[in-house]
Amino acid sequence: MESESVTSRDTRNGLDRRNFLAPPAKLMKFGKSEDTTMVSVDDNSSCGDVSELSDDSAVWGLRDMESLEEESCDSVISGNSTTFRTQPAGQEDFLRDIFKVIMEDIVQKAGDREGKVIEWMAPEELSAKMDLEPQPTSESHEQLMDRVKDVIKYSVKTGHPHFVNQLFSSLDPYGLAGQLVTDALNCSLYTYEVAPVFTVMEQAVLAKMRQLIGYEGGDGIFAPGGSIANIMALSCARQMAFPETKKRGLFGLPQLVLYTSELAHYSIRKAGCLLGFGDDNVRLVKTDAQGRMIPEDLEAQIEDTKQQGGRPFLVVATAGTTVFGAFDPINDIADVCVANGLWLHVDGAWGGGVLMSRRHRGLMEGVDRADSVTWNPHKLLGAPQQCSTFLTKHEGVLQAAHSAKASYLFQPDKFYDVSYDTGDKTFQCGRKVDVFKFWLMWKAKGTRGLEQHVNTLFDNTKYFVERLKVREGFQLVVSEPQLTNVCFWYIPPSLRKVPEGPEFRARLHKVAPLIKERMIRTGSMMITYQPQKEHVNFFRLVLQSSGTTFEDMDYFLDQIETLGRDIIV
């Protein structure tokens, strides 16, 4: 039985289209060809033999299959113009319409300050509205277009100038273009063989980033997010200190301990757990009022570890903490690392972008002394998500720590230089191409353009802080923000006469969540809030869109006041 091939030869475009069905089509065993005539995959022209389905049918839902068996083919395919084939032939119209919607409903609206940042709907209501359950039959072009439009309508417009909620925002046209192209090409960046251009491009971009850090040579790789890049740091540091771990695991080793600040990104603790060091061995170092690691406490904790028989091996400093935007004093921390023989990793996922600016790169002074750095262009530099890098001055350590030499990908006897098969430097297998969007942005703007972008963000931050300082009811949490995070409270008139103390703080803690709720329901802007250290709930503005202006800064303050001035807690 030729159940895996199309028995009626389809030779349009001069192609013999037999044996090309993708697994879902094989499982369904029927569908529609591009010209909407039925193409059977069996010898006869029936719906196909459902009993021949492979075990994978469970994936597609046996109930769906059983109900299909009871239906005629015509009822399954009637009234639609979609196709099961994973080829664009006949579906270009769909793609054209999608690109039009992307342009009209996302790109052009990204600059529309009158539009909503979010069209809020509660989860149950949204689930019902979206009609989410996949069905056995296909839907028409028009139905699918309506679905895409709904997805866009109810998604948060992170490209809107008034979305200042996370450490990513804005919509860079070159970045988006790059992302679209790489998604259309659908490469996997593990071998030169399947991703030749992106392999050499990745090497060139990483080399340039290392140069900005101040490294000579070294290595690096794009990672699917800063957390993964930070895991690589722990893994490389362990590899360097205890190379036998890769084969033997942690058995027989001393108690390995690492250090990071109490305000570091939570991925460091996660990485510590994941790699088997344990949460107790990720020691959190105290920070000062600005949120910077205190090197004296680091030294004290290292000493304490040694006295308890533990073995320090790594310090993770942060360049731009998530909430306060603080830069740890890298040079002082590097001195401690040198004195104790420890790997120094700088998590610059958020703040790394300052390296593009001659005016602000001093915030990361000493970063060239670090053994490794995480730097996410999708944060301060405004590249689309995800665009994260791990960079190290040590050549070969990534390969040594992570390679497993799969014979089906990394054949040593290929005809080209296999050092370009970079995929074995990471613990991933398939790897999305994240370099192209950033490369295209960098080419389009030049380093000087990216520098202007960063400087604009800092100028906007300065303006916002100055306006906030003179505005009644607003108060800074960190008196002099270092990065483009501004942390502040809004104190409504009803609280302004309450004396500072536990009651005031308990009531103030309730203000930001109430304002945030009103903000989301109106869709006027998005800014996040959180408590941190001894401080009760406060707002955190983060700027990484150079499309925002001083007027937007005033708008943020006006909005918060408008939404919060009548609050009584």
Q: Which residue has the tokens 């610059």?
A: 348
Q: Where do the H-state alpha helices sit in 275-391?
A: 295-307, 330-340
Nearest to 476 by CA among 321, 344, 324, 364: 324
The Cα angle at residue 533 between residues 530 and 534, in degrees rounded to 5: 100
Q: Which residue has the tokens 């923000």?
A: 481
Query: At a CB cut-off of 8 Å and minimum separation 6, what does 399 contact?
Result: 219, 424, 425
Q: At what angle do helices 267-274 and 226-241 cross, to 10 degrees?
A: 50
Q: Which residue is at the shortest CB distance from ligand ABU?
A: 166
Closest to ligand ABU by CB, 507 or 540: 540
Closest to ligand ABU by CB, 187 or 346: 346
Closest to ligand ABU by CB, 26 or 379: 379
Closest to ligand ABU by CB, 199 or 322: 322
Smallest distance, ligand ABU to C-beta of residue 522, A: 22
The whole-angstrom separation of Cα 399 and Cα 376 is 21
Smallest distance, ligand ABU to C-beta of residue 226, A: 6
Closest to ligand ABU by CB, 167 or 316: 167
> Are 513 and 553 a contacting pair, CB within 8 Å?
no
Q: Give the N- to C-terminal CA distance of the chain in Å, as an integer.
A: 74
Smallest distance, ligand ABU to C-beta of residue 316, A: 14
Strands laid side by side in the 311-318 sheet? 219-223, 388-392, 372-375, 343-348, 311-318, 256-261, 282-285
Q: Give the footprint of ligand ABU on this chain (CB under 6 A).
A: 166-167, 226, 322
Closest to ligand ABU by CB, 167 or 536: 167
In degrees and rounded to multiples of 5, residue 533 shows phi and psi of 50, -130
Closest to ligand ABU by CB, 166 or 411: 166
Smallest distance, ligand ABU to C-beta of residue 166, A: 3
Smallest distance, ligand ABU to C-beta of residue 263, A: 12
Smallest distance, ligand ABU to C-beta of residue 266, A: 8
Smallest distance, ligand ABU to C-beta of residue 322, A: 5
Cite the beta strand spans of 445-562 per DSSP E: 474-476, 485-490, 526-532, 535-542
